[in-house]
Chain A
Amino acid sequence: QALLQESGPGLVKPSETLSLTCTVSGAFIRSGGFYWGWIRQHPGKGLEWIGYVYYTGSTEYNPSLKSRTTISVDTSKNQFSLSLRSATAADTAVYYCARVFYQSSGSYFKRIWFGPWGQGTLVTVPS
């Protein structure tokens, strides 16, 4: 069973880059079949998908965050990372990494689900 663990600074200054890493154990990112993604949850709010990466480096991002987001993968370390540039107080949230199953065969019947998840890490950007 895959286990995921987020790591990174809990405090980021406004206008700087929010950077997090997710370390995967119990599974190999390079095995394929799954994507590896990031989801965030603003305090007291719902879930927001940020994006995902495949072991090949192929990525997909939420259009609302795409201009500021980079998700990368390091298969040698079995890790993937999130960079969110020009952080503001609106980026204060708990950030989760998760294994992602995504399948698209044409315009319809797209499948996406997230599991397992990391425990999450709170990142605060002061206003």
Chain B
Amino acid sequence: QSVLTQPPSVSAAPGQKVTISCSGGTSNIVHNFVSWYQQLPGTAPRLLIYDNDKRPSGIPDRFSGSKSGASATLAITGLQTGDEADYYCGAWDSSLSAGVFGGGTKLTVL
């Protein structure tokens, strides 16, 4: 059971928008910053979003992050088949004194 909770799967059609949620609590998301990762099939994770809503260089602006209270959201617009991947949220948990991740969400582009 992961500390951060994500839906197991989401799906949407090419060109559409999809959102992926990440729920936590006061020891992690509420008081600390959230990051997001994309893991394409058979590859290592890649940093998509850090500090809740910042994109590293090279990440398209189709990817955006936000946070409100104990939840964070990754939004992907203009979906492409190449976006099919597993997506993970991450944060520091101050109670556990550990970095923690969500269980991952599999995105299917129909």
By a beta-carbon cutoff of 8 Å, the part of chain A in contact with chain B is: 46-49, 60, 62-64, 96, 101-102, 104, 107-120
Q: Is B68 among interface residues, defined by CB-CB distance under 8 A?
A: no
Residues of B near any A CB (own CB < 8 A): 2, 31-33, 35, 37, 43-47, 50-51, 56, 88, 90-92, 94, 96-104
Given A47-B101, A110-B92, decide whether A118 and B35 contact each other with a Cβ distance below 8 A: no
Q: Decide: A108 and B46 in contact? CB cutoff 8 A.
A: no
Nearest 6 pairs of A and B residues by beta carbon = A115-B47, A49-B99, A113-B35, A113-B50, A110-B92, A108-B31
**Would B90 and A114 count as touching, CB distance under 8 A?**
yes
Contacting pair B44 A112 (CB below 8 A): no
- Beyond contacts A110-B94, A112-B90: 14 other A-B pairs, Cβ-Cβ < 8 A, are A46-B88, A48-B101, A60-B97, A63-B97, A64-B98, A101-B50, A102-B92, A110-B31, A111-B32, A111-B33, A111-B51, A112-B33, A117-B46, A119-B44
